[in-house]
Amino acid sequence: MASVTGLEGVIAAETELSLVDGQNGNLVYRGYEAKELALHKSFEETAYLLWYGSLPSQETLNEFKAQWVAGRTLPATLESVLDLLPNESDMMSILRTAISVLGTGDNTQSAWPPSDKAIIAYTALLPTIIAYKYRQSRGLSPIAPHTDLDHVANYLYMLTGEIPQPSHVKVLTAYFILAMEHGMNASTFAGRVVLSTQSDLASALCASIGAMKGPLHGGAPSEVLHMLDEIGSKDRAEEYLRNQLASGKRLMGFGHRIYKTNDPRAEALRRIMTELSSEDPWFELAVHVEKTAVDLLAVYKPGRNLYVNVEFYAAAVMRAIELPPHLFTASFTASRMVGWTAHLLEQASCNRIFRPQSTYIGELPVSLRQS
Ligand code: CMC
């Protein structure tokens, strides 16, 4: 049922991109279960599926990957602007600024409707921007993109300068694919609203990044890590979580507007992480905290159906591969760029400006009051 606050239950668009089935806990990308794609396909193949509607042949995939590799190099203007931004800026503000810079000066990339060329270029470049600024903030020289590595492996390579372990690439690829697209979430909606005015790609993506930054959306994983660090050991979990709930605080990594059962993305990541780190005490703690939290949420918030969401196990994935916590939301963004841009292409293909209404609940002038 539709609700005025938060547009709950309101259908804002028809989409062929994804089905988010919150009652049964399923996530489908263009006819494929996302959890299967996460295990068996590459990031680029899944991006192709979302943008073009089918999985690519090997030949098409090779050509497609070449476009990504070509898009990874930082343009000189952007590099100069990144150098001017304070190293202590948070990475989401850096990304918002970087996309804004990319949207200046080049008519091809700012034209309506957005082109395939532009969306591949923006998506391919995002990890380079993150890695460049991350290394600069630590006083390290930038690492040039590696032309032989796929998108996800190259991201890890540009952060560390080392060829990443295959297990790290596998788990981050799975997370990136699972986080790539998720229906009409706040950041996707924000981007579609901006594009619906026939504004440009960069403006729409800046809106999406701004929405993604908030702790109720993409900012949750680092807060999950903080919570798990504060809990520290299994024997402290119940008391800590009870105190949080009793004082009216939210448990980060739990609850979802759509999922009223387990988030399938969290389940898939838990399974993958179990293979990778079943013996790791920190991962054991995470699994214990999940179980304890779900039991307590049923007591403190009866009837709300609050379960674990993707951000909880995203934190576990990113910690396992030793990604610094302040890069968590930016990494989520690097993957969600695909979903956002797929939605922008879809919006452009059947555009009508978004223009909802509001109910006025303020005072009327005397002249307009009915007696
Ligand atoms: N911990 C404790 N209580 C909660 C939580 C939580 N994580 N989430 C919802 N509730 C309670 C909330 O207090 C409210 O209780 P009451 O009716 O007594 O006031 C009830 O459940 C409904 O909450 P709501 O805010 O109306 O639910 P929503 O659908 O607007 O919010 C949400 C969805 C994800 C913002 C929310 O569950 C939340 O804040 N979770 C924690 C932050 C988080 O993990 N965010 C990542 C979401 S997954 C990534 C994505 O897809 O964006």
**DSSP string spanning 180-227?**
S--SS-HHHHHHHHHHTTT--HHHHHHHHHHHHTSTTTTTHHHHHHHH
Q: What residue numbers bound the domain in which 229 lies?
A: 220-320
Atom 15 of ligand 1: nearest residue by CA position? 301
Residue 278 maps to a domain: yes
Amino acid present at 90: D
| pLDDT(146) > 50 | yes
Choosing from 7, 306, 329 the residue with most ligand 1 atoms within 8 A of its CB, the one to mutate for a pocket test is 306
- The mean pLDDT of the chain is 94
Ligand 1: atom nearest CA of 187 is: 52
Can you give the pLDDT at residue 282?
87
Q: Is residue 229 part of a domain?
A: yes
CA dist 268 and 47 (Å) reads: 19
Which residues have C-beta within 8 Å of that of residue 235, sequence separation ≥ 6? none
Is residue 202 a part of any domain in this protein? no
- Distance from C-alpha of 228 to C-alpha of 209, rounded to nearest angstrom: 26
Residue 239 lies in a domain: yes
Mind telling me the catalytic residues? Answer: 256, 311
Residue 143 lies in a domain: no
Q: What is the CATH number of the domain that holds 263?
A: 1.10.230.10
Q: CB under 8 Å to 239, separation ≥6 — which residues?
A: none
Q: Sorting pLDDT into bands at 50, 70 and 90, what band is 1?
A: very low
**Other CB atoms within 10 A of residue 112 CB:** 13
Is 97 inside any structural domain? Answer: no
Residue 263, φ and ψ in degrees, nearest 5: -70, 120
Q: pTM for this one?
A: 0.92
- 5-29: pLDDT as tens digits: 899 989 999 999 999 999 999 999 9
- Total structural domains within the chain: 1
In a domain, 174, yes or no: no
Nearest to 309 by CA among 299, 297, 319: 297
Cis peptide before 113 (omega within 30 of 0): yes
**Residue 63 falls within a domain, yes or no?**
no
